[in-house]
């Protein structure tokens, strides 16, 4: 099924890091914002990284991101995909990541998951010249990594916000 990214990148001119997924999940498309599946560990991870409460609303999540100079987007603007399964992605069309970077103070790009990393390296790296920093997927489909190990990886975000 053809999926088109229906909501914009979240960023402001003060954003220092960009976190990229592959394409929004079914739940994220329903809610119109990033990492919205209730079992996705992304918001819990970020909250633990910054030692703050998990934001409960989309507006709260946006304020959290803005306060910490984090931009969110996805590598792809559209693709054929079955459900939310990255392994089924076909016919990918990338977002213009470089145009977003030029509007911000972004110096580091993080990719969540192997598919986002592969797609970024193939379609975006040559335009941005910013090597991506890999973060394991926080998706409920990726339960092979313990939460404590995920959190350790996500702590790397702090090094790039100074």
Main-chain dihedrals φ then ψ at residue 157, nearest 5 degrees:
-55, -40
Q: Per-residue confidence at 15, pLDDT binned at 50, 70, 90?
A: very high
Can you give the pTM of this predicted structure?
Answer: 0.96
Q: What is the CATH number of the domain that holds 109?
A: 3.40.470.10
State the DSSP string of 31-70. Answer: HTSSS-STT--HHHHHHHHTT-PPP-SHHHHHHHHHHTTE
Residues of the domain holding 36: 2-159
> How many domains does the structure of the chain reveal?
1
Residue 85 and residue 96: Cα distance in Å, rounded?
A: 23
Residue-level length of the chain: 162
Residue 130 predicted with pLDDT over 80:
yes
d(CA 118, CA 7): 22
Query: Helix 147-154 vs helix 42-49: angle between axes, to the nearest 10 degrees?
Result: 60
Instruction: Indicate if the pLDDT at residue 141 is higher than 80.
Output: no
- Digit-coded pLDDT (tens) for 53-95: 999 999 999 999 999 999 999 999 999 999 989 999 999 999 9
Which DSSP string corresponds to 81-118? -STT-GGG-EEEEE--HHHHHHTS---EEEEESHHHHH
């Amino acid at each position: 099924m053809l999926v088109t990214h229906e909501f914009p990148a979240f960023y402001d001119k003060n954003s220092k890091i960009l976190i990229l997924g592959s394409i929004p999940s079914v739940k994220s498309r329903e809610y119109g914002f990033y990492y919205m599946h209730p079992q996705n560990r992304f918001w819990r991870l970020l909250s633990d990284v910054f030692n703050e409460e998990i934001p409960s609303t989309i507006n709260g999540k946006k304020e959290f991101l803005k306060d910490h100079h984090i931009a969110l987007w996805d590598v792809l603007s559209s693709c054929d995909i079955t459900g939310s399964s990255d392994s089924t992605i076909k016919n990918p069309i990338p977002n213009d990541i470089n145009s977003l970077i030029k509007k911000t103070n972004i110096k580091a790009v993080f990719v969540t998951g192997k598919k986002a990393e592969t797609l970024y390296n193939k379609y975006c790296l040559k335009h941005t010249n910013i090597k991506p920093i890999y973060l394991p997927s926080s998706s409920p489909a990726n339960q092979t990594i313990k939460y404590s190990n995920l959190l350790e990886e996500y702590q790397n975000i702090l090094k790039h916000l100074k």
